[in-house]
Amino acid sequence: MTDADAWRRVAEAGHTGNETTARESAAADDPVLRELSLGALERMGKLTDDDLRAAFNDADHSVRRRGAIIAAKHRDVTLIAPLNDAHDGVVEAAAFACGEHEAVSEEEFATLVSLATAATEPLVREAAVAALGAIGDERGLAAILAGCVDKPAIRRRAVLALAPFSGPEVDAALQTALQDRDWQVRQAAEDLLADVAVDEREVPQ
């Protein structure tokens, strides 16, 4: 059996509900098979939290990243391990998953704040800022505001992440964003301010 045949067999297992084939592949030497196993088990609703925790410790970063992405739908799984992974792609995926969870542990939250301000990879900072916006905890506001003066993609994401917050610092950041040299940042600020205006008009007087 060629690699392509083996990959196809596992992918099809997710559609046919063949858990045995999917689980056998979870221990395969080929990381592509291990990654496909995660997707197949998730598709058939048989992926457990223990499966995800095992994926977070896989030797191959692509498997760890796939596990982190899938974990976005598993709210009871802690994401500390992938948030502290050595590979930026895994960390980015874990930050995204935290944002999907919305409610996170204190340790996860503190890690996101640190990543949003100190991660060397811009994509990680961007994902962490977005997650903090989705979580909406006031303690993350300073990190989001820091993102408002970062690289363009991060500034745009940070402006959108300001949606749950209010106050003078938020107002000032939005006004600054309206004058940003990047049109997407300006558009994000305009859209957010327009949404706020609509909300205010709909509040009963």
Q: Is the pLDDT of residue 196 over 70?
A: no
- Report residue 193 CA to chain centroid gap: 25
Radius of gyration of the chain (CA): 20
48-202 is classed in which CATH architecture? Alpha Horseshoe (1.25)
pLDDT at 5: 84
* Statement: residue 201 has pLDDT above 70: no
Q: What angle, 0 to 180 degrees and rounded to 10, lies between the N-to-C axes of helices 61-70 and 31-43?
A: 10
- Classify the phi-psi angles of 161: left when phi > 0, otherwise alpha if psi is within -120 to 50, otherwise beta: alpha
How far are the Cα atoms of 55, 69, 94, 140, 182 from residue 151, in angstroms, in the given order?
32, 24, 21, 19, 10
CA–CA dist 82, 128 (Å, integer): 13
* Domains of the chain, residue spans: 48-202
Paired tokens of 73: 């739908």
> Residue range 136-145: average pLDDT?
98
At 67 the pLDDT is 98
In this model, does residue 1 exceed pLDDT 80?
Answer: no
Residues 51-98: pLDDT tens digits?
999 999 999 999 999 999 999 999 999 999 999 999 999 999 999 999
User: H helices then E strands: how many in the chain?
Assistant: 13, 0
pTM, two decimals, is 0.91
The residues near 3 (Cβ < 8 Å, ≥ 6 apart) are 30, 32
Question: Residue 204: is its pLDDT beyond 70?
Answer: no
pLDDT for position 203: 46
Share of the chain above pLDDT 70, in %: 95
9 versus 3: the higher-pLDDT residue is 9
- pLDDT, one tens digit per residue, over 19-57 is 999 999 998 999 999 999 999 999 999 999 999 999 999
CB hemisphere CA count around 142 (13 angstroms): 6
